[in-house]
Structure 1
Amino acid sequence: MPADTSTEVLPRGVRAGYGSGSVATGAFGTVPGLMLLPYLTDSLGITALAAGAIVFLPKAWDVVLNPIAGRISDRSDDPRGPRRPWLLRAGLALSVCFALLFAAPEMDATALEAGWVLVMFLACATAYAFFQVPYVAMPAEITHSYDERTRLMTWRVALLAFTIMLAGATAPLIRDAVGGRDGYRVMGLAMACLIAVGVVAAYVGTRRAPVGAPVAATGSLRDQLRVVATAHDFRALLTTFVVQALATGCMLAGVDYVATDVLDQKGAGTILFVCFVAPALVLTPLWSRFGTRHGKRRGYLLASLLLAAGAAGAALAPIAPLWLLFVAVVLVGTGYAGCQVFPLAMLPDAAAVDARDTGGNRAGVYTGVWTAGETLGLALGPGVFALVLAIGGYRSSTTGDVAQPDSAITAIVLGFSVLPAVLTLISLRWLVRYSLDAQEVDHE
């Protein structure tokens, strides 16, 4: 590694090409978290607890699969690059499986329909593992620069934010415009096409990325996981990110319920999503500049506090004016932008420091463990939210037109606001233990 990599700059086309992969990850990460639980409880008539299990189990499978996918990509050898072929193969498979996820045929038994969703979501999760893990591993090999990784993540998070807004805002509109189960089918097909666009754009856009030929670290997968587990800074960063993914998963799962059952305005769900994501489109470059000037960890701390403050403010949803709820969600979105830019830029730092110190490449294993943790957090979010609904006595139906008891309304509000705020604050216990800075990362 060069002694000074701080001035290394990637071509803009490579940054944009790599960031395009977030179109796929954003659509898949957002739509099931937003739509799958209501689809199960309010369209298929599945109980909240059973629906929560269906949402959680395929993601739990990813927790096991992701480190394996990382190990496989570490050992891949292809003239197109060790990671890029996986983007195309797994990404297109994900697109097809996603189209089928919301297309459950009408059967006589609810259990059979639930089984369809479970199998299709499991297939989606498997394909996503082999797309996401190589994709997240690429920055550690594309550039050695501490600051350039932040700039690279700025493109990724900006496109991620745009996709979350696009998918999160249009998916409910498509469903409601068509209506019924056909609405979910059409919505699923539209989102599958969006995923395919992101996959192809990332594959084509990274064809000129300056990726070398890293040497895979020796030893079994268990040996590699043991080394990763001893990396203090990575462990602290991962724990912070997983707990915050759990908080974000709770909020995503609650958007449709807040709009429908608390505000009694289905269109409010789209506005909430725009308020959540729009700040990231404007503020992501500003977060990047803040990180360059003040450090990534300090930026991550500030962003986390803003996210927690906004989530706590959303607890006023049942009694406050609607505009105040939107302001609280804008604050959440402001913090969320930083909570994506900084950890995603800090992850390749940790992997690169390990590769420099040990002489072996474990980027895929690092990102496999990372995405496994992220997947677990995002999967637990809807599951925990479903548990909160069950405790509150939420009433499932096949039409979605059922009056909910006051206890269920309270559960929706708490699961959407107070719980994510508390989880975000708890996550800071680990973030303050992270110690890598520019001097450490760029040191020869």
Structure 2
Amino acid sequence: MTATDVSLPRRVRIGYGAGSVATGAFGTVPGLMLLPYLTDTLAVPALLAGVIVFAPKAWDVVLNPIAGRISDRTRDPRGPRRPWLLRAGVALAACFALLFAGPDLDSRAIDTLWVLVVFLACATAYAFFQVPYVAMPAEITDSYAERTRLMTWRVAILAFTILLAGASAPAIRDAIGGRDGYRVMGLAMAAVILAGALLAYRGTSSARVGDLAPGPGSLRDQLRLVAGARDFRVLLVTFVLQALATGCMLAGVDYLAGDVLERDGAATLLFVCFVGPALLLTPAWSAIGARIGKKQGYVAASLVLATGAALAVLAGSAPAAVVFAAVALVGVGYAGVQVFPLAMLPDAAAVDARRTGSSRIGVYTGVWTAGETLGLALGPGLFAVMLAIGGYRSSDTDVAQPDTAVTAITWGFSVLPALIVLASLWWLRSYSLDETEVHRVDVA
């Protein structure tokens, strides 16, 4: 058995996957709750609300490569990545607890500024957690297949977290009501984030750490080299576009449930339909990838997701059960479009490290998470544009929405994301790394 074939202990797989409790909660709840909080509780106009949701994430696009370079150059007995899981994870939980806890001073300007500043702090802490976290698989194992198994655990736990956070956050808010409901929900989700960060830090204590020297040159020099890596570049563009589509759908859940389906508890049920299949089928996608390859599995999962999204356009005209079934199909595809690119990223970064003898893994993952953050941030912004085009009426009281707004919500949740996912596959066709190529470089 070669070094590249050695399986990781289950403790390490689960420990690493536990980090998705933190990333899943932070990636889900603001995308789901922040835009409705701004438009329907603070009465912020839709376009301005979209800017507030987007701006801190845009800051992460600049910060993430810097965070990656810093983690590459961290010298610590615990390795270059694990210390950041603890430091940034605690900071992220503290900032998130404050996000929905602004003082009620009856001032829209102060409310808006509070959300903007605190969300910026959240985004900063998240960058220093997420970038080292995503970099770890390339250093934990050299195995092409083991990285897929590692991502299977991560995505399964991610799916569970999305289900937990996505279903419970609206339920907590609705059970208490008003701004106090948002405050309590924020505290509960902060506790979930903190638990995930601590579990990941503890669970990876026995994992192998990186032993390659950080890449030479300035950050600009390293970014130029990373940008020149064709396989990484096309994989990144594909993933960013799909993050944009996912962010758009996530932002639309609350609006689709309240203004189109008009059913109590529909937001929670939509999340169960979305995440339930992912919980069950993530191992199946891993098995499919082992049989047909990661790239082909990624294409298949993307097509399933796009089909489900397109069928959701029937919301408002078909029975609600049809919409829930369409969203469940989205969940089936979503499991795959998380497993495969996250297993392909460390392949691309590790190939570069083996070829050059120096590590730019942190820079690779910094660019990757910057792109993911940009896509997830642009998603709610794009959905906010759809709301504005449709004439959505922002208000802190219940108001009837015009038919144009209902149509905009439906299309922003369905057809638009489906088209974006299909468009992303144009770039993926150029990806060329497979198991033979990765192992050839490892042996060399």
With structure 1 as the length reference, what TM-score do the two structures score? Answer: 0.98
Q: Which structure 2 residues correspond to residues 280-291 of structure 1 after superposition, within 5 A?
A: 280-291=278-289
Residues 80, 210 of structure 2: 8 Å contact kept: no
Q: Which structure 2 residues correspond to residues 21-60 of structure 1 after superposition, within 5 A?
A: 21-60=19-58
What do the CA deviations read for 1:56-99 (whole angstroms, capped 9, x no partner)?
00000000000000000000010011100000000100000000
In structure 1, which of residues 268, 288, 312 is the aligned counterpart of residue 310 of structure 2? 312
Please give the alpha-carbon distance, in whole angstroms, between the structure 1 residues aligned to 2:123 and 2:218. 24
In structure 2, which of residues 46, 58, 69 is the aligned counterpart of residue 71 of structure 1? 69
Please give the alpha-carbon distance, in whole angstroms, between the structure 2 residues aligned to 1:6 and 1:77. 26
Query: Equivalent residue of 1:373, what SS?
Result: helix
Residues 309, 421 of structure 1: 8 Å contact kept: yes
In structure 2, which of residues 368, 376, 380 is the aligned counterpart of residue 378 of structure 1? 376
Look up the match of 1:406.
403
Look up the match of 1:98.
96
Look up the match of 1:417.
414
Please give the alpha-carbon distance, in whole angstroms, between the structure 2 residues aligned to 1:130 and 1:323. 41
What do the CA deviations read for 1:120-141 (whole angstroms, capped 9, x no partner)?
0000000000000000000000
CA RMSD of aligned residues (A): 0.8
Look up the match of 1:442.
439
Please give the alpha-carbon distance, in whole angstroms, between the structure 1 residues aligned to 2:71 and 2:216. 14
Q: Which structure 2 residues correspond to residues 149-228 of structure 1 after superposition, within 5 A?
A: 149-228=147-226
What do the CA deviations read for 1:347-388 (whole angstroms, capped 9, x no partner)?
000000000111110000000000000000000000000010
What do the CA deviations read for 1:273-313 (whole angstroms, capped 9, x no partner)?
00001111111011111111110000000000000000000
Please give the alpha-carbon distance, in whole angstroms, between the structure 1 residues aligned to 2:100 and 2:331. 28
Look up the match of 1:89.
87
Look up the match of 2:336.
338
Determine if the alignment matches structure 1 residue 433 to structure 2 residue 430.
Answer: yes
Alignment-mate amino acid for residue 355 of structure 1: A
Alignment-mate amino acid for residue 425 of structure 2: L
Deviation at 1:108, TM superposition (A): 3.2
Deviation at 1:105, TM superposition (A): 1.1
Runs of 4+ that moved beyond 3 A: none
In structure 2, which of residues 123, 126, 131 is the aligned counterpart of residue 125 of structure 1? 123
Determine if the alignment matches structure 1 residue 13 to structure 2 residue 11.
Answer: yes
Alignment-mate amino acid for residue 333 of structure 2: G
Deviation at 1:6, TM superposition (A): 4.5
In structure 1, which of residues 226, 250, 253 is the aligned counterpart of residue 251 of structure 2? 253
Deviation at 1:5, TM superposition (A): 4.4
Residues 5, 442 of structure 1: 8 Å contact kept: no
Look up the match of 2:108.
110
Deviation at 1:266, TM superposition (A): 3.5
Query: Equivalent residue of 1:138, what SS?
Result: helix
Alignment-mate amino acid for residue 403 of structure 2: D
Determine if the alignment matches structure 1 residue 328 to structure 2 residue 300.
Answer: no
Please give the alpha-carbon distance, in whole angstroms, between the structure 2 residues aligned to 1:372 and 1:266. 36
Please give the alpha-carbon distance, in whole angstroms, between the structure 2 residues aligned to 1:66 and 1:75. 14
Deviation at 1:215, TM superposition (A): 1.0
With structure 2 as the length reference, what TM-score do the two structures score? Answer: 0.98
Please give the alpha-carbon distance, in whole angstroms, between the structure 2 residues aligned to 1:213 and 1:51. 45
Residues 392, 407 of structure 1: 8 Å contact kept: yes
Please give the alpha-carbon distance, in whole angstroms, between the structure 1 residues aligned to 2:198 and 2:291. 35
Equivalenced residues, count: 441
Look up the match of 2:139.
141
Deviation at 1:55, TM superposition (A): 0.1
Residues 60, 379 of structure 1: 8 Å contact kept: yes
Residues 256, 266 of structure 1: 8 Å contact kept: no
Residues 89, 197 of structure 2: 8 Å contact kept: yes
Please give the alpha-carbon distance, in whole angstroms, between the structure 2 residues aligned to 1:333 and 1:120. 31
Alignment-mate amino acid for residue 84 of structure 2: W
Residues 91, 128 of structure 1: 8 Å contact kept: yes
Alignment-mate amino acid for residue 420 of structure 1: P
Alignment-mate amino acid for residue 428 of structure 1: L
Residues 58, 374 of structure 2: 8 Å contact kept: yes
In structure 1, which of residues 350, 353, 357 is the aligned counterpart of residue 351 of structure 2? 353
What percent identity do the matched residue pairs reach? 73
Deviation at 1:323, TM superposition (A): 0.8
Query: Runs of 5+ in structure 1 lacking a partner?
Result: none
In structure 1, which of residues 374, 386, 389 is the aligned counterpart of residue 387 of structure 2? 389
Deviation at 1:442, TM superposition (A): 1.1
Alignment-mate amino acid for residue 401 of structure 2: Q
Structure 1 residues 309 and 5: alpha-carbon distance in aligned structure 2, compared to 1, 3 A threshold: farther
Alignment-mate amino acid for residue 20 of structure 2: S
Look up the match of 1:364.
362
Alignment-mate amino acid for residue 206 of structure 1: T
What do the CA deviations read for 1:164-220 (whole angstroms, capped 9, x no partner)?
000000000000000000000000000000000000000000000022422111100
What do the CA deviations read for 1:235-254 (whole angstroms, capped 9, x no partner)?
00000000000000000000
Alignment-mate amino acid for residue 413 of structure 1: T
* Greater shift in the superposed pair: 279-288 or 207-216: 207-216
Deviation at 1:106, TM superposition (A): 1.0
